Structures are given as structure tokens and as C-alpha cells.
Structure 1
Amino acid sequence: MSNIIDDLKMQYKLGGMAQRLILWNVACFLISLVFFYQFSIGVFDFPNWVALSSEPSVFITKPWTLLTYAFFHDGFGHIFFNMIVLNFSSALFLTFFSEKQLLGLYVLSSIFAGIAFVSGYYFLNFSASIVGASAAIMAILVATTTYQPLMNIRLLIIGNVKLWHITLVILVIDLMQIRVENTGGHIAHLAGAFFGFVFIKLLENGTDLSKIVSIVIQSVVNLFAKSSSTPFKKVHKNYKKPVEKPVSKIITKDKSQQQIDEILDKISQSGYDCLTKEEKEFLFKAGK
């Protein structure tokens, strides 16, 4: 069990933002199985401080649900399909854009789609709650399609298709089902798709909306860093500037660094799973 946990920690450290988003979603799903799943009737019962409610009185008092709903899922099939599409669309997105932009798009599109869901149900006079990362995933997929619609994608059985073909089929399915079932979910999906399109168009004109998320995260990090730092007194003292010694231009690595480099080279060539148990443990200890 400890080896599995160590492997997950290492995968989290070495993996990119796409892998972290998937792990966050899976972790939230496991938490929901423990606390929100009603085994007696076989359904999830999400509280209104996790799921996004269309009721204005609930939504206004719990605005964080505009983001939390995008990390929980209503069943194994729901999260399984979403994580497959998230992995697929994120891999394509990261071909052209950065990991900070991926996180920014995921967060902002979730908020935008959540507002669209609440607004739509308010005017339709409906009441419901939603969970799921589908809106954010649609934003990532449509954003990539908007930027590179003619990218070739090879599918099993079908063969090579254009990326815009895949995206169009998914959008048409959402439009066809919007009045049949899960109306709120499909409203959020389409809103996420629209946000992904706008995100790329603004980016092409020099406006990167993801910087908003990066600034907020950095502000929070700086806030906690300042609170944890201890105050100190500034001491002035006279000193003589040390004489600089000539430094050799030949750089040598110690044995530990050399071993780390060799392991990282091995990972880049054959993947993380090819490492031995001793190499994994050494890399994990070195990363602490």
C-alpha cells in the first residue's frame, strides 16, 4: 500500500497539470463515495455547499460552488468518461499552450458555465443542482479546435478525422439532448464550449484570461508565505568585500545529481514504470 501511495506522489510531482486535474477529480470522487453516496438507495446526495444549485438564495450564499461542482461526479460512468475526454483534450491543448493556461481555462470556464446554468434555470423557472467537469472539458476541447481545427486525429476503426469533426459531433449531441434530459448539464456544456471559443479569440488578440487565475493563486501563495515567515531585525555591520577567487569553468556533478539525471533520462526514454523499486525510492527521497 505504501508503494502505491509513493508512486502516486511521484506521479503527482513529475506529472503535468492535466494529470493533476485528473487526480484532483478522482480524489473528490473517492471522497464523495465515502460522505455523499447513499448505499441504501444507490444514488449520490451532494450537499448544497458542494454541488451548484440553481436556487439564487442558495447560490448567493455559497459562491464557491461555482468551482467545487466542477470536481465532483455523479457516478463511476460519469467520471470515467469525463476523465478520458479530459486526458484527450488536455493533451491536445498542451501541444500549443502552457499548463498555466490549461488550469486558467479549466477554472474560468467552470465559473462561466456555472453562471450560465444558474441564469438559464432562473429564467426557465427550473430548480436543480449539477456536478461534473464536463463544461470545463468542453471548453478545453473547443479552445483547441478553435485554434487548430484541421488537426488530424486517428481513431480506432474510423481512422483519421479532423479535430473539428469530433468537436462538432459532441456539440450536436448536446444540442439535441438539451430539451430531452439533463437540461442544466447541457446548458453548462454549451456555455463551456462558448467560453473556450472566446478564450482563444481573445488570446489571439493578445488578451490571456488565464493570467487572472495565475495572479489569484500567486497572491494566495504569497499571503501564506508572509504569514509563515518570522520577523527579523536588520543588522548593519562593516565588512570587507571578499576577494573573488578564480572559479574553474569545469562543472562537476556529485554522484547523487548524476544518478538523478540518469534516472530522469531513463524516464524520458522508457517511462516511469520502467524504473526499479530502488530507483523510485531514491527519486522520491531526492524530491523531498
Structure 2
Amino acid sequence: MNILDDLKLQYKLGGVAMRVIYWNIACFLISLIFFYKFSIGQFDFPNWIALSSDPQVFMFKPWTFLTYAFFHFGFMHLLFNMLVLNFASNLFLTFFTQKQYLGLYILGAIFSGVVFALSFYFLNISAPIVGASAAIMAILVGVTTYQPLMNVRLLLIGNVKLWHITAVILILDLMQLRLENMGGHISHLAGAFFGFIFIKLLQNGTDLSIIISRILDFFANLFRKSPTTPFTKVHKNYKKPTEKPASRIVTKDKTQQQIDEILDKISQSGYDCLTKEEKEFLFKAGK
């Protein structure tokens, strides 16, 4: 199995968190090809991708309230965000579903984008913004709100409470609010606030992620081909179909059992713990 097949398998089996990370990386690679200006040494994102605080722009490009959350201004910007996202995702998915995770990521990005646009509009500042930080803060603060006293082991530091990590990040955002990248810090704090509200509503029985789930299901059903029922001619000399040989069912059960055992191994120890033979088996079974 080559590296490309390995990446495809990780994308297929890694769940929604891994796919969100892949989407961010893919968008960064695309932006390197189309939006990086070597003459000025930085990215120049068009206003149909980056979120602008100018109402004359974002009112006619409402999708930018989401697209901005998948692009980054540089490699280090992407790297730091994906490290924090991976950390927060693993914690969040310990307690909540993948649909709730995706719903919080998307809604957190949209809410933060709205707060950023309105804040800069009233401050009479016109500037664009890109980055997944706000959506990531929604995920991190969300799981911190639910389990603030969870012990997290950090390299060179040891065990700390989850709320300690989140508090440090929020304090840094507050300290830098009036400095460079004010729009970014405003969106971070907005994402944190939304993550807190999302979990409190969820604890009271209101799951906002249902909004995103229903929208995605609607578009999925829209583009999914409806199964056609061909006309079947009825014969009087109908014969009961013979059952398939038992040996085929046993073979299928053994294959499925092996797949289940490998998936259990992934959930307990991660994808990297698989042997080369197990990875190849999963890849062939997924075709």
C-alpha cells in the first residue's frame, strides 16, 4: 500500500474530525497554487473566499461566513490551528457525536464571522479575515464547559486541568485584543462564547447541531439518485428462490468480524498501531 492509499484509508476511517483537518489542509494547498503572490510574499485571498467586514461585500457573498474558516494565511497559522483542532477534537468526541462536532464547528465559524463583521462595521474598519481559529475555539470551549476538571497530560508540564489550558488561550486573546490582528481575536472570543452557549443549550435539551444535520441531509438527498423500481412480470409458475449456500454467509461473517476487530483496535490505540497487512486488508475491503 502506498502513501496515497494510506491517506485515503485514514480519511475514510478517521471520522469527521480527521476529515475537517484534511479539508483545511486541502484548502491551504489550493490557496498556495491560486492565491499566493510571490511578488509580495503573502496570500491575497479574493473576497469570495475571505470574509470581509464590508457589508457591500458580505451581503452578496454570504457563503464567506463559512469559507473563511477553511483557509489560512501561512503554514505556521495552519499548523498551530490543526494541532489545537486535533487536541480539542479528540476530547470533544469522547463525549459527543460526530454530527454535534460538525454542527458546532460550522455554527461556531458562522457565528464568529457575524460578530467579526458587525464589530468591524461599527468600528468603521474594513478588513478581511481567514482561519479556523474561531471554530476551533468553539470546539475547545465546548468540551471545557462540559468537563472543565478533566485531567490532560502535557509534554514537559504534566497533568493539568482542561480549564487551565482553555483559560490561558482566552487570556492571551484578551491581552492582544487591541494589538495586531484585532479581528482575529474578536472572532476567537466569539467562537469561545458560542461553544459555551452550545453546550449549555445541549444540556437543557436543545441541540443546535440538528440545524446543520438537516441541511446536509437535504442536499445529500437532493443529489442522491432515487432507486428506480423496474416493472416485474408475474408468472403463475412462481418458484421460491433457493437459499444461498451457507458457506458464503460464513465467509462474509468472518470478513466482517475481522473488519470489526480492526476498527476496535483503531478506536482503542489509533490507526498507526495497525500492521501493514491489516491496513491492506481494510483498504481492499473498503473498495
Output the TM-score relative to the length of structure 2: 0.89
Alignment of 1:179-190 (within 5 A): 179-190=178-189
Match of 1:166 in 2: 165
- The equivalent position to 1:252 in structure 2, one of 250, 253, 258, is 250
Match of 2:123 in 1: 124
Q: Which amino acid aligns with 1:89?
A: A
Cα distance in 1 for partners of 2:195, 2:268 equals: 34
When the two structures are aligned, how many residues end up with a matched partner?
282
Output the TM-score relative to the length of structure 1: 0.89
Shift in Å at residue 281 of structure 1?
A: 3.3
Alignment of 1:10-89 (within 5 A): 10-89=9-88
Cα distance in 1 for partners of 2:123, 2:268 equals: 55
Cα distance in 1 for partners of 2:220, 2:18 equals: 21
Cα distance in 1 for partners of 2:235, 2:204 equals: 54
Q: Which amino acid aligns with 2:85?
A: L
Shift in Å at residue 209 of structure 1?
A: 0.3
Shift in Å at residue 82 of structure 1?
A: 0.5
Distance 1:269-1:100 versus aligned 2 partners, 3 A rule? closer
Shift in Å at residue 285 of structure 1?
A: 2.2
Q: Which amino acid aligns with 1:170?
A: I
Shift in Å at residue 229 of structure 1?
A: 4.0
Shift in Å at residue 19 of structure 1?
A: 1.0
Shift in Å at residue 159 of structure 1?
A: 2.1
In the alignment, structure 1 residue 214 sits paired with structure 2 residue 213: yes
Cα distance in 1 for partners of 2:76, 2:271 equals: 28
Match of 1:141 in 2: 140
Alignment of 1:227-238 (within 5 A): 228-229=225-226, 231-232=228-229, 234-235=231-232, 237=234
Distance 1:243-1:70 versus aligned 2 partners, 3 A rule? closer
Distance 1:60-1:153 versus aligned 2 partners, 3 A rule? same
Distance 1:22-1:186 versus aligned 2 partners, 3 A rule? same
Match of 1:197 in 2: 196
Distance 1:127-1:270 versus aligned 2 partners, 3 A rule? closer
Match of 1:3 in 2: 2
Distance 1:50-1:264 versus aligned 2 partners, 3 A rule? same
Distance 1:137-1:268 versus aligned 2 partners, 3 A rule? closer
In the alignment, structure 1 residue 110 sits paired with structure 2 residue 109: yes
Q: Which amino acid aligns with 2:184?
A: G
Shift in Å at residue 176 of structure 1?
A: 1.1
Shift in Å at residue 259 of structure 1?
A: 5.2
Cα distance in 1 for partners of 2:218, 2:88 equals: 29
Cα distance in 1 for partners of 2:265, 2:228 equals: 44
**Superposition RMSD in Å:** 2.6
Cα distance in 2 for partners of 1:275, 1:163 equals: 30
Unaligned runs of 5+ in 1: none
Cα distance in 2 for partners of 1:214, 1:259 equals: 31
Shift in Å at residue 168 of structure 1?
A: 1.1
Cα distance in 2 for partners of 1:57, 1:167 equals: 36
Shift in Å at residue 157 of structure 1?
A: 2.7
Give the secondary structure class of the aligned counterpart of 1:61. Answer: coil
Shift in Å at residue 275 of structure 1?
A: 4.5
Shift in Å at residue 276 of structure 1?
A: 5.0
Match of 1:286 in 2: 285
Cα distance in 2 for partners of 1:197, 1:60 equals: 27
Unaligned runs of 5+ in 2: none
Give the secondary structure class of the aligned counterpart of 2:47. Answer: coil
Shift in Å at residue 109 of structure 1?
A: 0.5
Distance 1:169-1:265 versus aligned 2 partners, 3 A rule? closer
Distance 1:155-1:277 versus aligned 2 partners, 3 A rule? closer
Shift in Å at residue 156 of structure 1?
A: 2.4
Cα distance in 1 for partners of 2:126, 2:267 equals: 50
Distance 1:167-1:260 versus aligned 2 partners, 3 A rule? closer
Cα distance in 2 for partners of 1:206, 1:85 equals: 28
Cα distance in 2 for partners of 1:158, 1:8 equals: 32
